[in-house]
Amino acid sequence: MATLHRRMGQHQEALDHFHRSLKIFESLGNLVFQGVVLHGIGEVYLQEGRDTEALKYFRKALKIARQSKDLFGISFEQDSIGDILFNSGKIADAKTQYLKNLKLQQKIGDNEGIAHTYGNLGNVARMEKNLPLAIEYYTKNIKMTAEIGDKDGQGRGFYNLALVYEDLQDMEKAIQSLHNALKCFTQAGSVKFMELTKKRLQENLQQNE
């Protein structure tokens, strides 16, 4: 019910349900569901744009995941924390978080998580103007998303790679990357990203005439 309220934008109702659920799971000593609920509360605050509150609850969820030795849960929460830091402009802190998480993901064989983190590190490298490193990370992201069959993720990797080539003024490679992204998004049925990619591809083709 709390998740439904959150998806419907009924944030206060969602928070009320989550907090009631949290008390129940705390009384039962159920760490796994405590972590799920704490993360859910963080997601509500994130939707409201209250990043500081969201970060607080993601860190609480991370603490619970560590107590229950849930390595995939730890990875999930560390990724969420890294995203908030990145979106808040704390690029160096986000980078530290992502690199730490990458080591854990490699240890537990979380290929989906590894692919996602390569993409995040590509974003960090691009923000730091380290474009060769951004290309390296996005290329790793593309390779791994292809291996696990994540066409949407692969499309995002190609799209981000195109942005780097635009930064480098290499329009031929940018256009080719956008074509690759469009192909992946089409196969994934990602309509929103298909339209976004078509628009950027058209703009690049016009500039390259």
> What pLDDT, in 10s, does the model give residues 152-168?
999 999 999 999 999 99
> What pLDDT, in 10s, does the model give residues 23-37?
999 999 999 999 999
Closest CA to 115 of 83, 140, 78: 140
- Split at pLDDT 50, 70, 90, the class of 2 is very low
Give CA–CA dist 185/155, Å, rounded. 6
Find the mean pLDDT for residues 73-101: 96
| CATH (residue range 110-209) | 1.25.40.10
Give CA–CA dist 126/134, Å, rounded. 5
- Split at pLDDT 50, 70, 90, the class of 182 is very high
Higher pLDDT, 21 or 14: 21
> What pLDDT, in 10s, does the model give residues 104-144?
999 999 999 999 999 999 999 999 999 999 999 999 999 99
pLDDT at 6 over 80: no
Predicted confidence at residue 16, as pLDDT, reads 84
Predicted confidence at residue 1, as pLDDT, reads 45
Closest CA to 144 of 156, 152, 154: 154
The pTM for the full model equals 0.87
Question: Could you give the C-alpha distances from 190 to 107, 144, 177, 185, in angstroms and in order?
Answer: 31, 19, 17, 5
Contacts 24+ apart (CB under 8 A), 27-31: 31/64, 31/67, 31/68
Q: Which residues of 6-41 are buried (b: 16+ CB within 10 A; e: fewer)?
A: beeeeeebbbebbeebbeebeeeeebeebbbbbbbb
Residue 68: Cβ within 10 Å count: 15
pLDDT at 8 over 80: no
Q: Where are the alpha helices (DSSP H) in the chain?
A: 2-7, 11-28, 31-47, 51-67, 71-87, 91-108, 111-127, 131-147, 151-167, 171-188, 191-207
pLDDT at 9 over 70: no
Q: Does domain 1-90 have CATH number 1.25.40.10?
A: yes
Predicted confidence at residue 13, as pLDDT, reads 80
- Range(s) of the chain covered by CATH 1.25.40.10: 1-90, 110-209
Higher pLDDT, 149 or 206: 149
To the nearest whole percent, how much of the chain has pLDDT over 90?
88
